[in-house]
Chains A and B, each alone.
Chain A
Amino acid sequence: MSSSVAPGTTSVDTGSAAEGTATRSARRGERLSALAQQQGGLVTLVVVFVGACLFSGGFASTDNFNSILVGNAYTSLLALGMTFVIISGGIDLSVGSVFALGGVLAGWGTLHGGTAVAIVLPLAAGAAMGLVQGLLIAYARLAPFIVTLAGLLFARGALQAITNEGSQTNHVPQNSAFLAMGNGTWAPVLTAVALFVLGGVVLQRTGFGQALFAVGGNENAALLMGLPVARTKVLVYVLSGVLACGAGMLNASRLGAGITNIGVGYELAAIAAVVIGGTLLTGGAGSITGTASGVLLLAVIQNLIGVHLSQYGSSASDLVNGLFLAVVVLLQTLITRRRRLV
Chain B
Amino acid sequence: MADAGRAGVGVTNPSPVLELAHVSKSFVGVRALQDVDFRLRPGQVHALVGENGAGKSTLIKVATGVYHPDAGEIRLDGSPVHFASPLAAQEAGISTIYQEINLVPLMSVARNLYLNREPRRFGLIDAARMRRDARRVLREYGVNVNVARPLRELGLGAQQMVAIARAVQIDARVVIMDEPTSSLEHREVETLFGVIERLRHQGIAILYVSHRLDELFRICDAVTVMRDGRVVHTGAMRDLDRLHLVSLMLGRDIAEVRRHGTTDFGSAHHIGDRPVLRAENLSSRRVLQDVSLEVRPGEVVGLGGLLGAGRSETAKAVVGALHTEAGRIEVDGAQVRRNSTAAAIRAGAVLLPEDRKSEGIVPNLSVRENIVLAALPRISRAGLVTRAKQDEIVDYFMKRLRIKASSPEQKVGELSGGNQQKVLLARWLCLNPKVLLLDEPTRGIDVGAKAEVQGVIDELAKDGLGVVLISSELEELIEGSNRVVVLKDGRKVGELTGDQVSEDALMQSLAQAPGGTPRTDG
A residues engaging B (CB < 8 A)?
Answer: 1, 13-16, 18-20, 22-23, 26, 30, 34, 201, 204-207, 209-211, 213-214, 217-218, 220-228, 280, 284-285, 342
Contacts and interface: CB of A to CB of B under 8 A. Distances in A.
A147 B127 CA distance: 35
Contacts of B145: 14
Nearest to B285: A1
B354 to A, nearest CB: 16
Interface in B84-122: 85-87, 90-91, 96, 98, 102-107, 111, 115-116, 118
Contact of A225 (B115, B118, B521): B115
A218 B103 contact: yes
B127 A285 contact: no
B234 to A, nearest CB: 27
A221 B106 contact: no
Given A30-B153, A206-B125, A210-B111, A218 B98 contact: no
Contacts of B125: 204-207, 209-210
16 contacts: A14-B146, A15-B144, A16-B520, A19-B516, A19-B519, A30-B153, A207-B116, A207-B125, A210-B116, A213-B107, A214-B104, A221-B102, A224-B102, A225-B86, A226-B86, A280-B106
A204 B128 CA distance: 12
A225 B102 contact: yes
A35 B396 CA distance: 53
B386 interface: no
Number of chain B interface residues as a range: 20 to 34
Contacts of B85: 226
A48 B96 CA distance: 50
Interface string B116-137: 1010000011010000000000
A30 B154 CA distance: 12
Interface of B is mostly: loop
A224 B115 CA distance: 11
Contacts of B146: 13-14
Contacts of B124: 201, 205-206
A10 to B, nearest CB: 13
Contacts of A227: 87, 115-116
B102 A214 contact: no
A334 to B, nearest CB: 15
A217 B115 CA distance: 13
Contacts of A201: 124
Contacts of A19: 516-517, 519-520
A285 B152 CA distance: 12
Contacts of B127: 204-205
Nearest to B103: A221
A213 B116 CA distance: 12
A75 to B, nearest CB: 28
B489 interface: yes
Contacts of B111: 210, 213
A218 B105 contact: yes
Interface string B149-190: 010010000000000000000000000000000000000000
Contacts of A284: 104-107
Contacts of B519: 19-20, 23
A224 B104 contact: no
A15 B85 CA distance: 39
Contact of A18 (B285, B286, B516): B516
A221 to B, nearest CB: 4
B286 A26 contact: yes
Contacts of A20: 489, 516, 519
- A1, A16, A213 pick with most chain B CB within 10 angstroms: A213
